[in-house]
C-alpha cells in the first residue's frame, strides 16, 4: 500500500499540492500568524482555526504571566467593559465564560432544568441540549428543511407554554447555512415575546452576506434574546477556552448564578489583544475564504453537492456512509468530521491551512476517482 508520505510526494510531482505563489505564506506571515505545522495525520474534524494565536497575542499572553498568581475577576471585568463598548450594551450584559460552550450549557441549565423545553433544529450543535437533558430538560427537535437550513415556520409552530428556550445556531453547525436577514429579525423579535431566543453566533464572522445583523441589537432593545460569541474560531484561540454571552440584565443576573468555569488570566489577555489585532483577523478570514474555494472547486469537479458555507467548514453530500468515508480518508492521512444524524451520507470538513486543504482535496479526488 502506498504510504502517505509517498502519496504526498507523488501528488507534488503531479502538481497536486503545489500552491500558487500568491497562496503561499511568506516568512513574515508565518511569524505573525502562526500556521499550525503539517502533521502526520491532518485533523480537519473540529472546525479549529489553523492559524493563531498571532504573534501579538503570544506576546500579550507571555506578559500576562506576571499576573497569573491572581484571580481573574478584575481582568475579566475589564474585558467585559471592552466588549460592552463593541456591542453597545452595558458591562452587566456581558458574561465572560470558559469558551462559548460553557455559556450554552449554563443557559440551558438556568432556564430549562426540571422539565423545561428547548426547541432546536436537527442537526445542530448539541452542547446546550445534551447538558440540559441531564438536568431534566425536554428537547423538541425540528428537522432542517430540504436546503439544510432552519425551518423557522415549523419552529414557531412548536413554541408552547412549556418552551423555555429556542436555540438558533446561526450559521448552523454542521450545515453551514444561515437564516435570511429579514426572516431572522422578524422571527427573533416575534418569538422572543413568547420565550427566550438563544442565538449561537460562533461562526458569525464568516457570514458572506454583507451587513448581516447580530442579534445583539435585540439585546440592546431589552428583548428575551441571548447571544453567544467565541474567540475559538476566527481569532484562533480554541485552546484558551474563552467566550462570552450578551444578555439583557433580567436574564444575565440569573445566568451568573450558575457560572462555574469562568476563564483565566492568560485567556483574558489573549482575547483582549485578539480584539485589537485586526491584521490577524483579516488574514484569518481571507485564508478561510481561499480554503473554502479549494474545497468547493474540488467538490464541483467530483460532482458532489454541498450547502453554501457561511463558516470555516463545508458540509457536503458524500454519497456514502460517513463512517466508511472516514476510514478511507484516515488511510489517506486526513481525519474528517463525525456523523450528524440523520445525514449519515453527508460530511462536515473543516478548512485547514491551504497546504492541509490541498492534501484533503487530493485525497478526496483519489477516493472518488
Q: At what angle do helices 4-13 and 354-368 cross, to 10 degrees?
A: 100
For residues 116 and 137, what is the distance between their CA atoms, to the nearest angstrom? 5
* Residue 39: count of CB within 10 angstroms of its CB: 10
Helices (H) and strands (E) in the chain, counts: 14, 11
Cell of 74: 478584575
Kindly report the pTM of this predicted structure: 0.93
**pLDDT tens-digit profile of 228-269?**
999 999 999 999 999 999 999 999 999 999 988 789 999 999
**Confidence (pLDDT) at 21:** 62
Q: For the ranges 22-26, 300-304, 326-330, which has the lowest average pLDDT? A: 22-26
Domains defined for the chain, CATH in brackets: 4-54+279-368 (3.90.1150.10), 56-276 (3.40.640.10)
Residue 337 binned pLDDT confidence (cut-offs 50, 70, 90): confident
- Using a pLDDT cut of 90, give the percent of the chain over it: 92
pLDDT for residue 12: 40
**Count of beta carbons in the 10 Å neighbourhood of residue 70:** 10
What is the spatial distance between Cα 185 and Cα 360, in angstroms, rounded to a whole number? Answer: 37
- Name the helix (H) or strand (E) containing 95: strand 94-97
pLDDT at 104 over 90: yes
Distance CA 108, CA 118 (A): 8
pLDDT digits (tens, 9 = 90+) for 17-68: 556 665 689 999 999 999 999 999 999 999 999 999 999 999 999 999 999 9
Neighbours of 354 (CB within 10 A): 20
Asked if the model's pLDDT at residue 272 lies above 80, the reply is: yes
Cell numbers that stand for 256 in this block: 451568573
Average pLDDT of span 331-351: 96
Residue with more model confidence, 66 or 11: 66
Give the DSSP H or E segment for 141: strand 138-143
Mean pLDDT across 331-338: 94
133 burial type by CB count under 10 A (0-12 exposed, 13-18 middle, 19+ buried)? middle
For residue 24, what pLDDT is reported? Answer: 82
Amino acid at each position: 500500500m502506498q504510504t502517505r508520505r509517498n502519496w504526498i510526494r507523488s501528488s507534488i510531482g503531479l502538481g497536486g499540492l503545489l500552491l500558487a505563489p500568491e497562496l503561499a505564506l511568506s516568512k513574515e506571515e508565518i511569524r505573525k500568524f502562526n500556521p499550525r505545522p503539517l502533521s502526520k495525520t491532518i485533523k480537519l474534524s473540529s472546525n479549529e482555526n489553523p492559524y493563531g494565536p498571532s504573534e501579538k497575542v503570544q506576546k500579550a499572553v507571555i506578559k500576562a504571566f506576571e499576573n497569573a498568581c491572581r484571580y481573574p475577576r478584575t481582568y475579566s471585568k475589564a474585558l467585559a467593559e471592552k466588549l460592552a463598548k463593541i456591542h453597545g450594551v452595558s458591562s452587566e450584559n456581558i458574561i465572560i465564560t470558559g469558551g462559548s460552550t460553557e455559556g450554552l450549557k449554563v443557559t440551558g441549565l438556568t432556564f430549562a432544568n426540571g422539565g423545561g423545553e428547548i426547541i432546536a433544529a436537527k442537526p445542530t450543535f448539541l452542547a446546550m441540549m445534551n447538558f440540559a437533558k441531564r438536568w431534566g430538560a425536554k428537547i423538541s427537535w425540528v428537522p432542517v428543511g430540504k436546503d439544510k437550513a432552519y425551518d423557522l415556520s415549523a419552529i414557531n409552530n412548536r413554541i408552547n407554554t412549556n418552551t423555555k428556550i429556542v436555540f438558533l445556531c446561526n450559521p448552523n453547525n454542521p450545515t453551514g447555512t444561515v437564516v435570511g436577514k429579514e426572516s431572522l429579525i422578524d422571527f427573533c423579535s416575534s418569538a422572543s415575546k413568547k420565550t427566550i431566543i438563544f442565538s449561537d453566533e460562533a461562526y458569525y464572522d464568516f457570514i458572506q452576506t454583507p451587513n448581516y445583523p447580530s442579534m445583539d441589537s435585540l439585546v440592546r432593545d431589552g428583548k428575551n434574546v441571548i447571544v453567544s460569541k467565541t474567540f475559538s474560531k476566527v481569532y484562533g484561540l480554541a485552546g484558551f477556552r474563552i467566550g462570552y454571552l450578551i444578555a439583557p440584565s433580567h436574564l444575565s443576573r440569573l445566568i451568573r448564578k450558575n457560572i462555574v468555569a469562568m476563564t483565566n488570566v492568560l485567556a483574558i489577555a489573549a482575547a483582549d489583544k485578539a480584539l485589537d489585532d485586526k491584521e490577524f483577523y483579516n488574514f484569518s478570514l481571507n485564508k478561510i475564504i481561499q480554503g473554502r474555494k479549494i474545497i468547493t472547486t474540488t467538490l464541483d469537479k467530483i460532482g458532489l453537492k454541498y450547502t453554501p458555507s457561511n463558516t470555516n467548514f463545508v458540509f457536503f453530500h458524500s454519497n456514502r456512509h460517513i463512517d466508511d468515508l472516514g476510514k478511507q480518508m484516515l488511510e489517506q492521512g486526513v481525519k474528517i468530521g463525525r456523523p450528524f444524524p440523520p445525514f449519515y451520507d453527508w460530511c462536515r470538513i473543516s478548512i485547514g491551512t491551504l497546504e492541509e486543504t490541498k492534501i484533503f482535496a487530493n485525497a478526496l479526488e483519489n477516493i472518488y476517482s
